[in-house]
Homo-oligomer: A and B are copies of this chain.
Amino acid sequence: MVVRTSSSPSTAAEALSALRNAPPLVQCITNAVVTNFTANALLALGASPAMCDIPGEAGMFAGVAGGVLVNLGTPTAEQREAAREAVAVGTPWVLDPVAVGALPVRTALAHELLEAGPAIVRGNASEILALAGAGAGGRGVDSTDTPDAALDAARALAVRTGGTVAVSGAVDLIVDADRTARVPGGSDLLTRVTGGGCALGAAMAALLPGAAPFDAAVTASAIWAVASERAAAVAAGPGSFAVAFLDALAAIDPADLDGRVAA
């Protein structure tokens, strides 16, 4: 398999510029813990979030949104039905299979939704391994594996979906069928704020209207790395980090993303 180099730095800058120039409507069907932080992260970044997760509305709304996020963190019966509606309409979408593997309701749903072809699957290494059938899943929302340990599983999953797979960790790993990118940097403090990864998936969905899935995933990861570092530089702890992270998302400039992506 020929592994091409990552998307160029300018691709990331262009993807963020596209979002800022045409603020996308992003429909998020996401878990109860992170709805607020996810919406605020999207607003800070320049996108327009909506959380329409009611059966009978979710599919309709997905049709007018530019990108859709389906996050399986707390999948109530209504959310499961809403997710099925939303992925059926053809808008590019991101699957975040939170804690997939050991827990049967979300695991069954994740495999069902996977057939609808997510543009991007984003998770931690344990989740990607479990979804690809190569592991048993981590400890709930925590990964017990590193992104590179999930490289083969991520590639296999990408081949299967025809899309991109993003594995979050100390160095984010993004793959599609024949490309690999790594995004280093960021801050450990992001792991002390709930929803840091969930909101990253939402940011990927926000970039889908203006960028190819691989580039959207790489760009969102680079944005997260830059914003995390800037927030950590001024934070006194995880509380002030979360606040500064939102400020940093709003202040980030496309040029700030240059040089953040490695092959």
Which residues of A pack against B, CB within 8 Å? Answer: 25, 27, 31-37, 39-40, 43-44, 48-54, 56-57, 60-61, 64-65, 73-78, 99, 102-106, 139-142, 191-195, 235-240, 242-251
Contacts and interface: CB of A to CB of B under 8 A. Distances in A.
Given A35-B32, A76-B78, A140-B52, A105 B57 contact: yes
A194 B33 contact: no
Q: Which of A99, A245, A247 has the most CB of B within 10 A?
A: A247
A184 B74 CA distance: 37
The 9 closest A-B pairs by CB, nearest first: A239-B246, A237-B247, A39-B194, A50-B140, A239-B243, A237-B250, A57-B103, A239-B247, A33-B35
A54 B33 contact: no
Contact of A192 (B35, B44, B104, B242): B44
A228 B14 CA distance: 33
Oligomer: number of copies: 3
A78 B75 CA distance: 11
Nearest to A52: B103
Contacts of A104: 56-57, 60
Given A44-B238, A56-B105, A237-B44, A141 B50 contact: yes
Contacts of A244: 236, 239-240
Contacts of A249: 237
Contact of A54 (B75, B191, B235, B236): B75
Contacts of A238: 40, 43-44, 246-247, 250
A106 B194 contact: no
A76 B54 contact: yes
Contacts of A240: 243-244, 246-247
Given A142-B48, A245-B239, A36 B103 contact: no
8 contacts: A33-B39, A36-B194, A40-B242, A50-B99, A64-B102, A236-B251, A238-B247, A239-B246
A37 B246 CA distance: 15
A103 B56 CA distance: 8
Contacts of A191: 43
A119 to B, nearest CB: 20
Contacts of A33: 35-36, 39, 51
Given A36-B195, A65-B140, A239-B245, 16 more contacts: A32-B51, A33-B51, A36-B37, A43-B238, A51-B73, A51-B74, A57-B106, A60-B102, A76-B76, A235-B247, A237-B250, A238-B250, A239-B244, A240-B243, A240-B244, A242-B243
